[in-house]
């Protein structure tokens, strides 16, 4: 019988050395578990002389309640401690004033806004088209049939839906606009385009702004005037502009537009490869076949179109020498523009 007092003392001293819930669980199993000391004592009731069994049972129950109570107390104590510890670790000072981070516009956005504003001031409307485009709008309707070598000029990303691709230029928006609206048309279409190209001056995704004017009287001189005006406003100087004959399947005649190198003022540098000139856009009179494809009567109407490379203009405007900087999202770079 005196063993019970000893057992109580054992529990007490054991619990005083417990410092975690995991350790406590071990003590709990040792005393209150299915194969624990107290279960064992209850089983042994058969070995006790009958007249003492009542008293023995009472003592075992008492011990059980004693153990349960002490273990519960210890458990609460440990849980409290754990909570305090957690609160201490996760403490935040709610009285600290918030850090004010002021956002800034991405240089491509700044450049696009600048281009759009200039053309709007000249009476152009803004049109949009999807980036996942119909293959016939991107190529066939623009006088680039399947198997035509001109398709190789723009290495294409195809998508796994028959007849669709990632548009390789903004020119399909010309088609969309002419199918939707009757002339006179005077629009620009800014947006993302995709090509399988990747080096310091080419990115698989980049931006263009398309331009299209269709009416009864437009000719090459109008096109030349609009493009020269645009470039002078964009660079805010009266810079030299030259038109070089070129080839695009959807324009005839076609030209590429060069500006006098803004980096070296035409003295010759790495950027202009010592030529003094930089190519900034393509343009031309809309090919009659393209107008016909869109149901526009070529006896009455003519058009001109152009396509500007936005990254190219942004690099020249801000003096950036690697196209990849636009897409790395390094805040130190991006924050220089607003
Ligand atoms: N779509 C042509 C390109 O991406 C540019 C262009 C547009 C040329 C309109 C002429 C007229 O290369």
Q: Is 37 exposed, middle or buried (0-12, 13-18, 19+ CB in 10 A)?
A: middle
Residue at token pair 């350790």: 23
Percentage of residues in the chain having pLDDT higher than 90: 75
pLDDT of residue 173: 98
Report which protein residue has its CA nearest ligand 1's atom 5: 307
pLDDT of residue 199: 81
3-state SS, residue 54: helix
Two tokens, residue 49: 């002389």
Does residue 100 surpass a pLDDT of 90? no
The predicted model gives 135-144 an average pLDDT of 96
CATH architecture of 107-337: 2-Layer Sandwich (3.30)
Report which protein residue has its CA nearest ligand 1's atom 6: 307
Q: In a mutational test of the pocket of ligand 1, which residue from 282, 304, 308 has the highest number of ligand atoms less than 8 Å from its CB?
A: 282
Does residue 207 surpass a pLDDT of 90? yes
Name which of 56-70, 243-257, 259-273, 297-311 the model is least confident about. 259-273
Does residue 271 surpass a pLDDT of 70? yes
Whole-number average pLDDT of the chain: 93
Does residue 2 surpass a pLDDT of 70? no
As a whole number of angstroms, the distance between CA 281 and CA 226 comes to 13
Confidence of residue 104 (pLDDT cuts 50, 70, 90): confident
- Per residue in 110-136, pLDDT (tens digit) is 999 999 999 999 999 999 999 999 999
- Per residue in 150-195, pLDDT (tens digit) is 777 778 999 999 999 999 999 999 999 999 999 999 999 999 999 9
| Closest atom, ligand 1, to C-alpha of 254 | 10
Alpha carbon separation from 74 to 11, 95, 159, 327 (Å, rounded): 11, 36, 65, 58
Q: In a mutational test of the pocket of ligand 1, which residue from 206, 248, 253, 303 has the highest number of ligand atoms less than 8 Å from its CB?
A: 248
As a whole number of angstroms, the distance between CA 301 and CA 289 comes to 12
What residues does ligand 1 touch, defined as CB less than 6 Å away?
Answer: 169, 171, 248, 251, 282-284, 305-307
The predicted model gives 38-42 an average pLDDT of 90
Alpha carbon separation from 321 to 7, 53, 206, 209 (Å, rounded): 82, 96, 15, 21
Does residue 235 surpass a pLDDT of 90? yes
Does residue 1 surpass a pLDDT of 70? no
Q: Domain limits of the chain? A: 2-90, 107-337
Q: In a mutational test of the pocket of ligand 1, which residue from 142, 210, 307 has the highest number of ligand atoms less than 8 Å from its CB?
A: 307
Tell me the CA–centroid distance for residue 307 and ligand 1, in Å.
5
Range ranked top by mean pLDDT from 56-60, 258-262, 295-299, 328-332: 295-299
3-state SS, residue 292: helix
The predicted model gives 310-317 an average pLDDT of 93
CB 306 within 8 A of CB 228: no
Report which protein residue has its CA nearest ligand 1's atom 7: 307
| Closest atom, ligand 1, to C-alpha of 283 | 10
pLDDT of residue 45: 87
Report which protein residue has its CA nearest ligand 1's atom 9: 306
Count the neighbouring beta carbons within 10 Å of the beta carbon of residue 268: 14
CB 337 within 8 A of CB 318: yes
| Closest atom, ligand 1, to C-alpha of 208 | 4
Q: Where are the alpha helices (DSSP H) in 153-253?
A: 172-180, 220-235
Q: Is 115 exposed, middle or buried (0-12, 13-18, 19+ CB in 10 A)?
A: buried
> Angle 310-318/220-235 helices, nearest 10 degrees?
40
Q: Looking at per-residue confidence, does 271 or 126 come out higher?
A: 126
Confidence of residue 37 (pLDDT cuts 50, 70, 90): very high
pLDDT of residue 229: 97
Report which protein residue has its CA nearest ligand 1's atom 2: 307
Please name which of 318, 323, 288 lies closest in space to residue 305, comparing C-alpha atoms: 288
CB 196 within 8 A of CB 204: yes
């Amino acid at each position: 019988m005196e063993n019970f007092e000893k057992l109580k003392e054992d529990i007490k001293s054991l619990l005083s050395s417990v410092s975690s819930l995991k350790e406590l669980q071990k003590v709990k199993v040792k005393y209150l578990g299915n194969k624990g000391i107290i279960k064992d004592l209850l089983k042994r009731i058969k070995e006790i002389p009958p007249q003492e069994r009542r008293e023995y049972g009472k003592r075992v129950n008492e011990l059980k309640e004693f153990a349960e109570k002490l273990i519960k107390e210890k458990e609460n104590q440990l849980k409290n401690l754990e909570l305090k510890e957690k609160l201490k670790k996760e403490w935040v000072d709610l009285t600290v004033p918030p850090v004010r981070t002021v956002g800034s516009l991405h240089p491509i956005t700044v450049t696009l806004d600048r281009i759009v504003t200039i053309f709007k001031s000249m009476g152009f409307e803004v049109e949009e088209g999807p980036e996942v485009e119909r293959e016939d709008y991107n190529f066939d309707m623009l006088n680039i049939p399947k198997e035509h070598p001109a398709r190789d000029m723009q290495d294409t990303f195809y998508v796994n839906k028959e007849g669709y691709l990632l548009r390789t230029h903004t020119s399909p928006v010309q088609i969309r606009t002419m199918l939707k609206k009757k002339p006179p048309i005077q629009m620009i279409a800014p947006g993302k385009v995709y090509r399988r190209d990747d080096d310091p001056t080419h990115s698989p995704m980049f931006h263009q702004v398309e331009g299209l004017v269709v009416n009864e009287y437009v000719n090459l001189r109008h096109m030349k005037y609009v493009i020269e005006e645009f470039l002078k406003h964009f660079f805010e100087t009266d810079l030299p502009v030259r038109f070089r004959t070129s080839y695009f399947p959807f324009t005839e005649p076609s030209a590429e537009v060069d500006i006098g190198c803004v980096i070296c003022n035409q003295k010759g540098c790495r950027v202009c490869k010592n030529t003094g000139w930089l190519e900034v856009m393509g343009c031309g009179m809309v090919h009659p076949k393209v107008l016909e494809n869109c149901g526009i009567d070529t006896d009455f109407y003519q058009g001109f179109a152009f396509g500007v490379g936005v990254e190219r203009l942004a690099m020249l405007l801000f003096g950036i020498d690697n196209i990849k900087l636009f897409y790395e999202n390094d805040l130190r770079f991006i924050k220089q523009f607003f």
